Structure 1
C-alpha cells in the first residue's frame, strides 16, 4: 500500500479530516460537526470520524475494502489526559483505518502547524482554552484542561457566558452599567434581560455562548470598561499559559515559537495578540509570538508525515498547497451528523 496519512483534527465545534500521501499531496479533505468522544460518547464520536474518513477515502478514489491510510494521526479536543489518549488510540485502532495510530491533544497539532519542528509553546483559545509546550529534548508541559476543576478560565464558551452574566446583572442592579446590556437585548430581540433569562430557562431560545463572544469583543472595542475587563482577563490567562510552560521547560532565554490559535484568537486580531505579545516578551525576550495561519488539521497531517518518515519536501508541498483544499467557510461542511 502506498503510504498515506489520515489526519483528524477533532474540535468541539468542527471535525476536519485530511488524507495526504507521503509526498505531502492532499488527496482529500472534508469537514463535519464536532464530535468529541468524551462529550458525545466513544461510539458516536468515532462513528462521525469514520464517516468523514470514509468520505475522504472515496474522494481520493480508494476502493471500499482498501485501508484508508498507513498511519492515522488524530489530534482531538478532550484528549486531555494520558488515559484518554490511550483509550482513544485503542478504539481508533480497532476501527482498522490504518495499521498504526497516534492520538494526542489538539494543541500538539496547533503547535506543529505553526512551527517547522513542533518545538515551542502553543495556546489554543477556541470553545475552550488549553496549552502545550514541547522542548527540543522531548520534554513536554501540559495542563489537564478540564475546566474549572483544573483551574481553567477562558475560551469562547466561557466568554459568552460572562457576557450574559454581566448583562443580566447590569439589568437588575447587581452589576455595573455596561453596553453589553443593550447589545444582548438587541441580539435576543427582547425588552429586558429578565425576559431573556426566562426564555433561556424554558429553552424557548437557544443559548449558544459562542455567538455572544464576538459581541463581547465588539463592545470592548467601543470603549466599554466592563467588557474590557473580561478581555484583559483573557489576555492575562493566555500570557500565564504561555509563560508557565516556557518556565517549566527552561525556554525563557531561548529563541522559541509561541503560537496562538483557535477561533477566539483568529477572530480578534491585535486586540488580544498585541498585549499578549508584549507581556510574553517581558518574560521571554527572544520568543516569536504569533497567531497560526494554518488550520490544525495541517498540523495533524504534518505530525503524521513525521511519524512515517516523510521527506522535508513533503512538508513544503503540504504547506504551500493546502489553501486549495481548505473549505473557506462552514457552508462546505459535510452532511455527517452526530446521531443518536
Structure 2
C-alpha cells in the first residue's frame, strides 16, 4: 500500500454520480472511487455532505493516506452556478477535505480541462441539456448559465426529443409539414400514432423522461432523409456553433487556435450531417479551432486543474498530465457506482 503524500483531491459531481480521486504531484492516481450524486440540488445538503465525507474517507483508505490532507481540493460540480451556490459548497468541501486549498467550479470546466491539452480553450456540453464554457489564455473563465429556457437555452437530448414529438404531432394534425417522425417517434415507445403518445403522457402512462430520451430517433430519422427531423438536428448544431462563437469572443480566442472540446452523450451520435455542420460552423467562426472529443472521465479535468494550480508555470507538465490521464482512464473503464459504506 502506498504512503506517498496526496497532492490533489479531485471531485467531479454530476446529477447522477460522483467521482473522487487522490493524486500525487507527479500525476499518479493513488486512489479513486465512484459513488452516488453529491449534488445539493439532487439530494438534501446534509445527505450530500455525508456522502462526500464517506467517499473521501474511502478514497483515502484506498490510497493509504487516511491521515494526510491534500495540498489542494478541486471540485467541479453540477449546480455550482451562482455565488450563493459556491459559498455553500465551499464550506461543505473545506470541512470534508480536512485541510488544504479548495477550488469549486461548475462541472463544465472539468469537461474543458479534461479534453484539452492546455489550460485554456472552449467546451461545448450536450447531454440531456446544453451548456458551454471557456477559459482565456490569461485564465479568465466564462460560461453560460445553463439553467434552461429562462436563460435562453435550447438544445441537448431533452430538447431534441421534445421537438421531435412536437413535430410528429403537428405533422399528424395538420399544423406542420408531414414527417416520418409521425411514425418513428411513437414506434419508439410501442405506439402507432403521435396523438396516442400525447394521450398516454396526459394519462400518466408515459413518463416525461422517456419522451426526453427520443433524441436518437430524431437523429436516425434525419439520417434517413426526413426534412423535418433534419431541421431539428440542424437547429441543435447551429445553437452549439453560436455558443462556441460567443465564448470565443468573450475570451479573445477567435484569432487563436483553441481546442473546442465536445462533451456529453449527444455527441456520440454517428449522424454525419450533424457533425459536418457543427465542424463547418465552428471553423467558420474560429478559423484555427481544433475540435476534440472528451474521451476521459471528467474527474480528470478536476485533477488537472489541481495539478495546474501546483505547477510554477500554471500548467501541469505534459508527463504529469499524461500519467493522470492514463491512470484515470484505466480506472474509469471498470468503475461502478457504489453506495458508500
TM-score interval (norm. to shorter): 0.7 to 0.9
Contact 1:13 1:127 in 2 (8 A): no
Q: Which shifted more, 174-183 or 99-108?
A: 174-183
2:206 alignment counterpart: 205
Return the alpha-carbon distance in structure 1 between the equivalents of residues 264 and 95 of structure 2.
30
Contact 1:265 1:272 in 2 (8 A): no
Contact 1:261 1:291 in 2 (8 A): yes
**Structure-to-structure mapping, 1:33-72, within 5 angstroms:** 33-63=36-66, 66=67, 69-72=70-73
Q: By how many angstroms is 1:34 displaced? A: 4.3
Q: Which runs of 5+ in 1 are unaligned?
A: none
From 324, 330, 334, give the equivalent of 2:330: 324
**Structure-to-structure mapping, 1:98-137, within 5 angstroms:** 98-137=99-138
Q: By how many angstroms is 1:299 displaced? A: 0.8
Q: Which runs of 5+ in 2 are unaligned?
A: none
2:277 alignment counterpart: 275
1:15 alignment counterpart: 18
Q: By how many angstroms is 1:226 displaced? A: 1.2
2:311 alignment counterpart: 309
Contact 2:8 2:307 in 1 (8 A): yes
1:172 alignment counterpart: 173
Q: 1:305 to 1:185 in 2, by over 3 A?
A: same
Q: By how many angstroms is 1:68 displaced? A: 6.3
Query: What is the TM-score of this pair, normalised by structure 2?
Result: 0.87
- Bigger RCO of structures 1 and 2 (CA < 8 A, at least 6 apart): 1
Contact 2:183 2:192 in 1 (8 A): no
Return the alpha-carbon distance in structure 1 between the equivalents of residues 132 and 116 of structure 2.
15
Contact 2:56 2:97 in 1 (8 A): no
1:300 alignment counterpart: 302
Q: Secondary structure at the match of 2:178?
A: coil
Q: 1:121 to 1:252 in 2, by over 3 A?
A: same
Contact 2:7 2:24 in 1 (8 A): yes
Contact 1:72 1:100 in 2 (8 A): yes
Q: Which shifted more, 143-152 or 75-84?
A: 75-84
2:78 is the counterpart of 1:77: yes
Query: What is the TM-score of this pair, normalised by structure 1?
Result: 0.87
2:30 is the counterpart of 1:27: yes
Q: 1:182 to 1:67 in 2, by over 3 A?
A: farther
Return the alpha-carbon distance in structure 2 between the equivalents of residues 293 and 124 of structure 1.
13
**What RMSD, in angstroms, separates the aligned Cα atoms of the two structures?**
2.6
